[in-house]
Structure 1
Amino acid sequence: MANSPQSKKRAKQNEARYAINKARRSRIRTYLRKVEEAIASGDQDAAAAALKSAQPELMRGVTKGVMHKNTASRKVSRLASRVKALA
């Protein structure tokens, strides 16, 4: 349990940061799910549009420290190849 004023402040900051990061992760997953659903439906135009909107969201997660750069790049690459395969 936090005792010193500094550790109390850090605990409070950690809770706030956790909530923000959780919301960001959830938002990214939503965008990824939209791409997955568009791919599953077989609609290439919708899938390409969904991917185009998901890409900046993934990279924003990288700049905010929610995920690693290589992880986001890998996800974008795999989704892009799956969208391209629909053609």
Structure 2
Amino acid sequence: MGPRWGGTRATRLTALTLATYGDRCHLCGKHGATTADHLVPRSRGGDDAIENLRPAHVACNSMRGSMPIEEWRRKHPIYEQKCSASRKW
């Protein structure tokens, strides 16, 4: 495992994650994410590369913990919001 996650390094990587991927939480699909979540958790061998980081809300990131992303998706599927059809005139 690499350096500890925290401090200015984590702040810099979180800012880079948000700049790269936007603020939509990859776990719940809503905007307003402020943290970087590891797709492959560090405790499971994941690293801090930008390719392994995605935006997440603090609560979503905390709820997921070190759960594998496949397990999270099974338990918490993201439902795409569809626009309702306009009325026929």
Do the structures match in fold with TM over 0.5? no
Please indicate the TM-score interval, normalised by the length of the shorter structure: under 0.3
**Which structure is higher in helix share?**
1
**Which structure is higher in strand share?**
2
TM-score (norm 2): 0.26
TM-score (norm 1): 0.26
> For the pair shown, which has the larger CA radius of gyration, 1 or 2?
1
